[in-house]
Amino acid sequence: MASVQLKNVSKVYTKEDYKNRKDKKSEIKEGVLAVNNVNIDIQDKEFVVLVGPSGCGKSTTLRMIAGLEGITSGELYIGGKLMNEVEPKDRDIAMVFQEYALYPHMTVRENLEFPLKVQKLTKKEMNEIIARVAQTLDISDYLDRKPKELSGGQKQRVAIGRAIVREPNVLLMDEPLSNLDAKLRNQMRAELLKLHEKIQTTIIYVTHDQTEAMTLGDRIVIMKNGVIQQNATPQDAFDRPANTFVAGFIGTPQMNFFDGTLIKKDDYFIKIGDYEERVSQTQNEILKEKNIDTQDVIVGVRPQHIEINKDNKGMEGSVDVRELMGTEVHIHANAYGKNIIIISPTTSIDYRNMRTGDKIRFSFVSENIHLFDKESEKNLCC
């Protein structure tokens, strides 16, 4: 197994890159800075997820680790060894792609055997390895079938099996679940977690799906425009987002944002319209330590941290629509010129009588308010 370090790694595309690249689905323009000064330190056996919207540089970063893209500047280390000029086949890595890339004319067993043949193992040794991997991935019953006889989930298991069969130091996965339906994706996420527990290999996983990132990663690296926005555990990214981009990207439904003012008195208060509320004790101490002055801010609050008031106190909004989600109701409302979402337990409000245009009053759970600088959009309390 191995650690992976990227030190000040950048990628600027040239026309030569595009000409040499087999995957031409995404357009590459000359001179585009796809990855900008990325620093990531991935520990041995860690499961790290690179996540972000399309075009953020996550797949390019993965391809540089694999050796499928050249590094313009910076250094890549795998297992402590500099890998910038090392051929992909000599990096002791394996990669699972979005497409299964199985050989259609071969059986599952033959697909799994293929990467082992170059190691010149005996037939007995290969059979022992394949039996072990097939049992781990629950594909033992499919060894004599061809890919066309398998479901999407089964094909993906075989693709993963072909990658891990030779026990690589690092396993790279580029959106491997994106071709599966929602139910199967949920199932495969659980299977990937169990697989990581069994094989104890360093895994670097790329996805645009923040749910996958939150559920799979020991750590998530959130990217935008080729730049790392935050490198943290999933819980830290959710609880303490570094900026408004992370705050809006992580969490479903996404965080609500309001234009407000941070007011410095003896303690700190936020003011939105005519509503004023004291910040939490923890935030108050941080703001005092930083000596933050009165200023305009962006106030972020997650939907589940807004409470509908039964009295006539708090901020005012009007109901647009409501969505019943079993034990919760999602209320889409308009307040202070913003479209917001409020999540409430069905037992706590009379949602059945809510109609479009109805006025509601709501307030924030002060411990869960996030304050962002108006200009830099950085979290003032991080």
Question: Which of these, 362, 311, 317, lies nearest to 337 by C-alpha position?
Answer: 317
- The structure tokens 């108006």 sit at 374
Indicate whether 242 and 291 sit together in one domain.
no
Q: Is 67 exposed, middle or buried (0-12, 13-18, 19+ CB in 10 A)?
A: buried
pLDDT in tens, 347-375: 888 888 889 999 999 999 989 999 999 99
Question: Which of these, 303, 255, 282, 308, lies nearest to 382 by C-alpha position?
Answer: 282
Q: Give the strand pairing for 219-224 and 227-232.
A: antiparallel
pLDDT for the residue 140: 93
Distance CA 371, CA 299 (A): 5
pLDDT category, 23, cuts 50, 70, 90? Answer: low
C-beta separation of 233 from 193 below 8 A: no
pLDDT for the residue 304: 95
- Residue 382 maps to a domain: no
Say which CATH number the domain at 117 has.
3.40.50.300
Mean predicted confidence (pLDDT) in 267-280: 93
pLDDT for the residue 30: 66
- Residue 265 maps to a domain: yes
Domain boundary among 247, 273, 303: 247
Distance of alpha carbon 178 from its chain centroid, rounded? 13
pLDDT in tens, 218-249: 999 999 999 999 999 999 999 999 999 999 99
pLDDT for the residue 27: 55
Q: Give the strand pairing for 370-373 and 315-325.
A: unpaired
Q: Is the peptide bond before 253 cis (omega within 30 degrees of 0)?
A: yes
Domain boundary among 225, 247, 269: 247
Strand partners, 371: 299
pLDDT for the residue 351: 81
pLDDT in tens, 89-104: 999 999 998 888 899 9
Mean predicted confidence (pLDDT) in 247-253: 94
Distance CA 264, CA 306 (A): 23
Question: Which of these, 182, 113, 133, lies nearest to 153 by C-alpha position?
Answer: 182
Indicate whether 209 and 281 sit together in one domain.
no
Mean predicted confidence (pLDDT) in 43-69: 96
- Residue 53 maps to a domain: yes
Sign of the alpha-carbon torsion through 179, 180, 186, 191: negative
Indicate whether 274 and 230 sit together in one domain.
no
pLDDT in tens, 150-180: 998 899 889 999 999 988 999 999 999 888 8
pLDDT for the residue 139: 92
- Residue 63 maps to a domain: yes
Distance CA 381, CA 105 (A): 58
pLDDT category, 20, cuts 50, 70, 90? Answer: low
Distances (CA, A) of 57 to 33, 179, 205, 225, 301: 9, 20, 13, 7, 28
* Number of structural domains in the chain: 2
pLDDT for the residue 19: 63
Indicate whether 228 and 268 sit together in one domain.
no
Distance CA 84, CA 87 (A): 9
Indicate whether 200 and 298 sit together in one domain.
no
SS3 319: strand
Residues 6+ apart with CB under 8 A from 367: 280, 282
**Residue 8 belongs to what domain range?**
4-247
Indicate whether 286 and 242 sit together in one domain.
no
The continuous run of DSSP H or E covering 229 comes out as strand 227-232
Distance CA 372, CA 374 (A): 6
The set of long-range contacts for 341-346, using a CB threshold of 8 Å and a minimum separation of 24, is: 341/253, 341/256, 341/303, 342/303, 342/306, 342/308, 343/253, 343/303, 343/304, 343/306, 344/307, 344/308
- Residue 119 maps to a domain: yes
Indicate whether 28 and 75 sit together in one domain.
yes
Residue 64 reports pLDDT greater than 80: yes
pLDDT for the residue 119: 82
pLDDT in tens, 286-321: 999 999 999 999 999 999 999 999 888 899 999 999
User: b vs e for 203-213, b when ≥16 Cβ sit within 10 Å of the residue's Cβ?
Assistant: bbbbbbbbebb
Mean predicted confidence (pLDDT) in 3-13: 97
Strand partners, 262: 270, 295
Mean pLDDT of the chain: 92
Indicate whether 115 and 239 sit together in one domain.
yes
Mean predicted confidence (pLDDT) in 77-86: 96
pLDDT for the residue 98: 84
Residue 51 reports pLDDT greater than 70: yes
C-beta separation of 12 from 33 below 8 A: yes
pLDDT category, 29, cuts 50, 70, 90? Answer: low
pLDDT for the residue 1: 61
- Residue 158 maps to a domain: yes
pLDDT for the residue 18: 62
- Residue 380 maps to a domain: no
- Residue 177 maps to a domain: yes
Mean predicted confidence (pLDDT) in 110-118: 90
Indicate whether 279 and 201 sit together in one domain.
no
Indicate whether 183 and 267 sit together in one domain.
no
Furthest-apart CA atoms within the chain: distance in Å: 78
pTM summary value: 0.91
Share of the chain above pLDDT 90, in %: 75
Say which CATH number the domain at 294 has.
2.40.50.140
Indicate whether 160 and 304 sit together in one domain.
no
Indicate whether 51 and 132 sit together in one domain.
yes
Question: Which of these, 137, 160, 168, 171, lies nearest to 65 by C-alpha position?
Answer: 171
Mean predicted confidence (pLDDT) in 266-285: 94
Domain boundary among 190, 222, 247: 247
Mean predicted confidence (pLDDT) in 58-65: 96
Residue 24 reports pLDDT greater than 60: no
Higher-pLDDT residue of 332 and 166 is 332
